[in-house]
Amino acid sequence: MVAKYSEKITNQRNNYLHVLTKTLVKQYDVIKIEDLKTKNLLKNHKLARAIANQSWRKLRSQLEYKCAWYGKQLVIVNPHKTSQICSNCGYDDGKHNLEVRYWMCPKCGINHDRDVNAAKNVLSA
């Protein structure tokens, strides 16, 4: 019973990844993602289970082969400080703890959501 339920979850996750990656590749000519090292992220025990369940490696490999198949470009971006550098003015405020989800740039005064700021920096890389 547990194995069957686990298999169902795995199949649903795989189907979702295929639908998502196909949609992204058909909709965009250039896709940018961070080169996240999940092995390092798993060292944070508070996040380990959530990170392990995300299938980031599968997402990346599906994007790689589908971009190649459809002639699209996949850009792998270094994730270093993407959430800490102001996407508006480029100011580096130093390292923020993971608990800091929102911050204000002391140089330009823009308020940032950590994840949105990182996405903007990845896009501009």
**Residue 88 and residue 49 in one domain:** no
Q: Are 87 and 124 within one domain?
A: yes
pLDDT of residue 45: 61
- Written as one string, the DSSP assignment of 85-110 is B-TTT--B-----TT--EEE-TTT--
Q: Tell me the per-residue pLDDT of 31-84, one tens digit each, with 9 for 90 and over.
A: 999 997 766 655 666 666 666 656 788 999 999 999 999 999 999 999 899 989
pLDDT at 39: 63
Q: Taking the model in full, what pTM does it have?
A: 0.78
Query: What pLDDT does 52 receive?
Result: 62
* Same-domain status, 62 and 121: no
Question: Within this chain, do residues 68 and 12 fall inside the same structural domain, yes or no?
Answer: yes
Each residue of 83-112: pLDDT tens digit? 899 999 999 978 778 788 899 999 999 999
Task: Indicate whether 66 and 101 sit together in one domain.
Answer: no
